Structure 1
Amino acid sequence: MAQFIKVYPQNPNEKEIAKIVKVLQEGGLIIYPTDTVYGLGCDITNNKALERVAKIKGIKLEKANFSFVCSDLSNISDYVKQIDTATFKILKRSLPGPYTFILPGNNNLPKAFKNKTTVGIRVPDNAIALEIVKQLGNPIISTSIYDDDEVIEYSTDPELIFEKWQNLVDIVIDGGYGDNSPSTIIDLSGPEPVVVREGKGDIDIF
């Protein structure tokens, strides 16, 4: 059964974060808060953990479109091809924030993502998620536990999330109530920005 760990978003406790990071390093799965809905995540470099997430989501790992949660803009540049000034300005203006940006991936993508030409990148405006990624030293994947068919409270109330997910993951973080609208997805991999999904992030950022 999963651990249920309370972490305060204003001032994440280092001991609790270290405990979460250790579980990720050992191939564990976590449910964690972001600036949008709660996310299901694992270490992007751990194939076994990625397989577990894909299984939960009912998809094959090679078909999965998991986003990476990065700690900041320089962390993003580890995984994407050189970006032009216009793209950089959009990222700088919008992040941290409730966006997922699709960008061309580079050769540093972990093994499970080698067949991808693009990668979705998140830098959520949430101190808990950012602290986890900083301490871990590389991104975690992000796939929302939000489900259009589910009762909406599941994706916002950590206790209800724990009830539903406790046998599927290793840690559920209680970082307070989540939001119930997902991130705005914008594809920046082509010549023009394309809004793929309108969510919490304002699309008037170009």
Structure 2
Amino acid sequence: MAQLIKIYEENPNPREIEKVVAVLRKGGLVIYPTDTVYGLGCDISNTKALEKIARIKGVKLDKANFSFVCADLSNLSDYIRQIDTSTFKILKRALPGPYTFVLPGNNNLPKHFKKKKTVGIRVPDNNIARLLVEQLGNPIVSTSIYDEDELLEYTTDPELILEKWDNLVDVVIDGGYGDNVASTVIDLSEDEPIVIREGKGDTDILN
């Protein structure tokens, strides 16, 4: 049974954040709010948790396209190869915000992601998501929670999310209604930026 923990984005209660971080540290799975849709995440350093998420999504872990949710740009060099100034300027302009940037990975990637040439990086404009990462001390590996209902695509109501995911995850954070538009995905790993998916983030940041 998943716990539903209410956290207010304007003023997150440190005790509640700590509760969720403790679950992540133990290898638990958490559904949490971002500046776009609700995400399903776990601690990047916990293999069992990563495997669980891959199983839920029906993909092999080394083939999975999960994003790394960071608190700010300072973690980037842990996982990303040196990037040029123009790429950094785009990141600086866009983040925190509703974007996922595909960037060239380096040799420090956790072992399951070693074969990947690129990784998706997210710095959501949401206090709850960023505080979780800060307190945890490393990124959360994350994927959006799709809905099989073609019309809905993303469930926005935390109570309904809890109902549906109750047996699959350990915690659902109720951070209010989520958005139903996913992040804009931009590939910055090649010479020219490529927009892979248009979502909530405006692509004007590339100009």
TM-score with structure 2 length normalisation? 0.97
Question: What is the match of residue 87 of structure 1?
Answer: 87
Question: What is the match of residue 178 of structure 2?
Answer: 178
Cα deviation digits, residues 41-69 of structure 1 (max 9, x gap): 00011110000000000111111000000
**Distance in 1 between residues matched to 2:55 and 2:142, nearest whole Å:** 15
TM-score with structure 1 length normalisation? 0.97
Question: What is the match of residue 189 of structure 1?
Answer: 189
**Distance in 1 between residues matched to 2:147 and 2:103, nearest whole Å:** 25
Question: What is the match of residue 69 of structure 1?
Answer: 69
- 2:142 is paired with a residue whose SS is strand
Gaps (5+ residues) in structure 1?
Answer: none
Shift of the alpha carbon at 1:171? 0.2
Could you tell which deviates more after superposition, 2-11 or 141-150? 141-150
Could you tell which deviates more after superposition, 12-21 or 146-155? 146-155
Shift of the alpha carbon at 1:149? 3.4
Shift of the alpha carbon at 1:112? 1.2
Q: What is the letter of the counterpart of residue 77 of structure 2?
A: S
Aligned residues: 206
- 1:75 is paired with a residue whose SS is helix
Shift of the alpha carbon at 1:146? 2.4
Question: What is the match of residue 106 of structure 1?
Answer: 106
Q: Judge conservation of contact 2:146–2:153 (CA < 8 Å) in 1.
A: no
Shift of the alpha carbon at 1:191? 0.4
Cα deviation digits, residues 133-182 of structure 1 (max 9, x gap): 00000000110002363452862100000000011000000000000000
**Distance in 1 between residues matched to 2:88 and 2:77, nearest whole Å:** 10
Identical residues among aligned pairs (%): 75
Q: How large is the RMSD of aligned CA atoms in angstroms?
A: 1.2
Question: What is the match of residue 166 of structure 2?
Answer: 166
Q: Judge conservation of contact 1:37–1:146 (CA < 8 Å) in 2.
A: no
Cα deviation digits, residues 85-130 of structure 1 (max 9, x gap): 0000000000000000000001111111111110000000000000
**Distance in 2 between residues matched to 1:80 and 1:199, nearest whole Å:** 23
Question: What is the match of residue 135 of structure 2?
Answer: 135
